[in-house]
Every structure is written in C-alpha cells, then in structure tokens.
Amino acid sequence: MNSPMDDAKIFSCEFFPPQTEAGMEKLLIVRNELDENMHPAFYSVTFGAGGTNRDRTLDAVDRLREDNASVAPHISCIGSTRDQLKELIERYIDRGVNRLVTLRGDIPEGGPGANDFNHANELVAFIREQTGDHFHIEVAAYPEYHPESATPESDFQYFKRKIESGADSAITQYFYNIDAYLRFIENCQKANLDVPVVPGIMPITNYKGLVRFSDNCGAEIPRWIRKQLEAYEDDIDSLIDFGTDVVTSLCSRLLESGAPGLHFYTLNQSQVTLEIWRRLNS
C-alpha cells in the first residue's frame, strides 16, 4: 500500500496578495520557509472580489515566481468583462503561467458590476476556447455546499458542469467534517467525474475570525471544536495547539482515505502549516 504521504499527492499553499511592499517582502520569506520544508507543488494567489486588485494579484504572482516557484493565480469572472479577462489571461500566458484557479468570485456589496460571465463554468469554457490546453484549470468544490446553492443536488450538478466545461481538478472550500468530503467524492465517482478533488485545509489560529469567516462561506465548525476554541479564546497557545491537533488529525485521515493531496489556506503565514506538515511526517 502507498504511504498516505506518497509522492503522487499534490500539496499546495494559498496566499493573498499583500497590500504593501513590506507585506510582500514578508510573504517572500514565508514562501522560502514553505519551499525549504514542504516543497509545495504550487502556490496559488487569490483574486480580489469583483475584479478589484486585479493588478495586485498579477504583481504578487510576478514576485513569487522570481525564484522559479510554480504559481497559480486565481481568476474570477464577477466584475470583469470578457475583454478584461482575455487581456489578463494573455498576460499570464506571456509570463509562462500554466495553472489557473478559475472562479466566479464572491459578489461584492453593491452588486456584481460589469461582467459577461455569471458562473465559473462559463469562464472555464471561455479559457478553454481561447487557450486550448495551455492551462491546468482548477475549480472550487463545496463538500458542505455553496451558501447560495438552491439545493445540494443543483450545487453538485453545477460542479459537474464546471468539470465538463474543461476543468482538470478541484480544490474544496475548507471543512472540518470529513464525512462531507468523503460523500462528495462518492458522488463524483457515481457521476463518473474522474478528476482530483483536493481538500482545502484551514489551519486554526484564532476563534472569532474563524467563526465569522465560516459563517460567511458556509463551512461548519463542529460543536466539539467550536466549544473548545471558545474556551481557549484568551489562551492563544492552547488554542493553536488544540487547533493544530484537530487539523493534523483531519489531514491524516483525509490522506489515508485516498485524498489526492492537500491545499493549505496559509493566510500568508508559514508557522502553523509547517507544524501540521511536521506532525504529518513524523
């Protein structure tokens, strides 16, 4: 039997584009620390909601790639026209980028603005039509369902449509219920969707921020985790220790269950991700 950490698994890390040069310098240090200890297959860089900060994503991609790191920009269709997206995709091709995380994007307060594509499947189809097989296209998957989805069934059918439009693999929204992921994988198998679906992993480093974010994106924090985090709210060392334990155990069980890799939402920090990595390898 292959080891749960075998070489075929894809481990990747996500960053957001820093707002300042100081933040960028710090992020380059974080990337170096991850490179040295974990050797991620690629780093992904998020895209501002509603097409905002398009250039900031591009700038961060350029800086992160300076030392030959493999970088996958996120690109979302909300708030961008077809021409703006075409130009952005061409800029990535010029730079030698060959992997994109392709999304609809969160709808900003005040509405979606000018956009020619309403859903991620349309953007996937557009990228394929314009660039053939140049890009490895990742899309988002939601084992606990997207918060706007009409029904679980329709959410899955729309996920299927993204794959059928030309996506190569998927990264999930983070979750702490492994059964939700395993069920999602079963549904993919039943629907003959033969693409890797890599679990998105959110390390736990604070209580209130995690609760707020999870409420917004529809990720459930199980009661036994939430209650313990609440109790540790003023004891950050115990909170991080407990959170790291919980997330390491989740990662370990996911890999043993056949997950094709892990995608870490690093929040531009290396420490906790590397501690999970160390524990997984010990």
Least spacing, CB of residue 267 vs ligand FAD, in Å:
13
Which distant-in-sequence residues (6+ apart) come within 8 Å of 166 by Cβ? 124, 125, 127, 128, 137
Q: By CB under 6 A, tell whether 46 contacts ligand FAD.
A: yes
Binding segment (CB under 6 A) for ligand FAD, from list 1-9, 97-105, 176-184, 185-193: 97-105
State which of residues 52, 91, 158, 195 lies at the interface with ligand FAD (CB under 6 A). 158
Q: By CB under 6 A, tell whether 173 contacts ligand FAD.
A: yes
Binding segment (CB under 6 A) for ligand FAD, from list 42-50, 92-100, 180-188, 250-258: 42-50
Q: By CB under 6 A, tell whether 105 contacts ligand FAD.
A: yes
Q: By CB under 6 A, tell whether 121 contacts ligand FAD.
A: yes
Query: Measured between alpha carbons, how far is 41 from 8 in angstroms, rounded to an integer?
Result: 11
Buried/exposed 164-201: b ≥16 CB within 10 Å, e otherwise = ebbbebbbbbbbbbbebbbebbebbeeeebebbbbbbb
Q: By CB under 6 A, tell whether 103 contacts ligand FAD.
A: yes
Least spacing, CB of residue 34 vs ligand FAD, in Å:
18
Binding segment (CB under 6 A) for ligand FAD, from list 30-38, 44-52, 84-92, 203-211: 44-52
Residue with tokens 């606990």: 144
Query: Measured between alpha carbons, how far is 269 from 246 in angstroms, rounded to an integer?
Result: 18
Annotated catalytic sites, by residue?
14
Q: By CB under 6 A, tell whether 149 contacts ligand FAD.
A: yes
> By C-beta, is 36 or 148 nearer to ligand FAD?
148
Q: Where are the alpha helices (DSSP H) in the chain?
A: 21-38, 54-65, 82-95, 120-131, 152-164, 178-190, 208-217, 223-231, 236-256, 271-280
Query: Measured between alpha carbons, how far is 27 from 225 in angstroms, rounded to an integer?
Result: 29
224-229 LR contacts (CB < 8 Å, sep 24+) = 225/176, 229/204
Q: By CB under 6 A, tell whether 261 contacts ligand FAD.
A: no
Least spacing, CB of residue 40 vs ligand FAD, in Å:
15
Residue 141 CB-half CA count within 13 A: 31
Q: By CB under 6 A, tell whether 155 contacts ligand FAD.
A: yes
Q: By CB under 6 A, tell whether 116 contacts ligand FAD.
A: no
Binding site residues, ligand FAD, CB under 6 A = 46-47, 49, 74, 76, 101, 103-106, 119-121, 140, 146, 148-149, 154-155, 158, 161-162, 171, 173, 200
